[in-house]
Amino acid sequence: MARTTPVPASAVSPSSTDFPSGTARPSGRRRGVLASLAAAVLTLAASALTLVPSGAPPARAASSLNQVTGFGANPGNLAMYSYVPQGAAQGAPLVVALHGCTQTATDYYDHSGWSQFADQWGFTVVFPQTSSANNALSCFNWFDSTKDTRGKGEAESVAEMVSYAESHYGSDPHRVYVTGLSAGAGLTADLLADYPDVFAGGAIDSGLPAQCATTETAASSCQTSSQNLTPAQWGNLARDSDPGYTGPWPRVAIWQGTADYTVYPVNAAELRDQWTNVWGISQTASSTQTLSGGTTESVYNDANGNPAVEMYSISGMGHGLAVDPGSGTAQCGSTGAYFLSYICSTYYTATFWGLNSGTPPPTTPPSTTPSTTPTTTPSTPPTSSSSSAPAECFTASNYDQTVAGRAYVAAGLTYADGSNQAMGLWNVLVTHTLKETSPGYYVIADSGC
């Protein structure tokens, strides 16, 4: 994708690639699909899968990834794969996991860690899969309103998969969650907006705000630059996807690497603005803490003090899903193309949704008057809950600040992490001093530091 300034060769993440320019309600939560982002071709090998006869659920004793045919209406021409662990009980939660471009359901099953926690905590996972017949790079079409809106195309196909899981596996319709990577994350955001009555929560990994683009041409702009919308405008894009719905809203986790040059970090800030506004809560974090893998977690609480939106910023990570191979409690997954070793995002997402507790997390009735106050630049620094150490200062070129994870790039310009203060062109000639006032939150401090 084009940048407005020359990019040092060493600044490009090995994971970065260019996407192609791209009245009655049912009693339970209805379902939907988010379109995927177009990413670079991944050379991943697909492994063999067991095909289940039409209408028949996979055998639970097998504890393997199985294809299901005849799951219902399929206007999006998607394939359905499911993983039902041994001993999965009636009324268990359901997770829908969406792969990235040119990946397959098997890739996501093999590397993401979702099957590991499904075994441990007893929930079912559905892995939708698209193909090159739908998109040249096997991307979900997150930017196409004929495919990524309620009742249409890929979104409706995913909704049918959820219905199938509820009827055949006994999945709890009140505990259905959706997550995705890259293009799958774009579709995830759309699904949360299209079907807030279906999904109790979502996780958007290296993705974009719901309905950021409605054409393939506009998709590139969404990926690489700020759209200059207020939180209220972002919130309206989500609310207008299912007019008349008033809540409860999905709980949303946002994962983003600071060195992602495929889906730029500004998208994480826009996602935060969108979903905090939908919830009617502040865009200023209620608390922050530092996790492993250079990760900063910012939590945005609802009116009752319960986490409604969580944003995870991973210093130095490029485009991909964060995994952490190993046998520790909070470790999972395996590395591969676009599966990057930093932190087990799947573990933190699953616990955020309450999948480890056997009961859903508490929810708060939505605000009837969404917030219409836009965030300011710079925003108010969050209060650190993890460190009382004095502020530390770092003087370096804009390029080196981004490499160190203290700033990010959008459309060739540099912005400080946390405060979003503009630092000028992204190169080695412009130098700034950044002060870290709380973990992962930097302000320009060219003097008095």
| Residues belonging to the active site | 182
Long-range contacts of 369-374 (CB under 8 A, 24+ apart): 369/280, 370/232, 370/235, 370/239, 370/277, 370/278, 370/280, 371/231, 371/232, 371/235, 371/276, 371/277, 371/280, 371/281, 371/282, 372/230, 372/231, 372/232, 373/231, 373/232, 374/230, 374/231, 374/232, 374/273
Q: What angle do CA 409, 311, 368 make, to 5 degrees?
A: 115
Distances in Å between the alpha carbon of 299 and those of 286, 296, 440? 6, 10, 13
Strand partners, 394: 434
Locate tokens 């699953």: which residue? 350
Task: Enumerate the H helices of 33-175 as residue ranges.
Answer: 105-111, 114-121, 153-168
Strand partners, 178: 96, 202
Identify the H or E element spanning 376.
none
Locate tokens 């995913």: which residue? 158
The tokens describing 52, both together, are: 């289940």
Please compute, for residue 124, the number of CA atoms within 13 A of its CA located in the half-sphere on the CB side.
31
Q: How far is 58 from 66, CA to CA, in rounded Å?
A: 6
Strand partners, 279: none
Torsion angles phi and psi, residue 43, rounded to 5: -90, 75
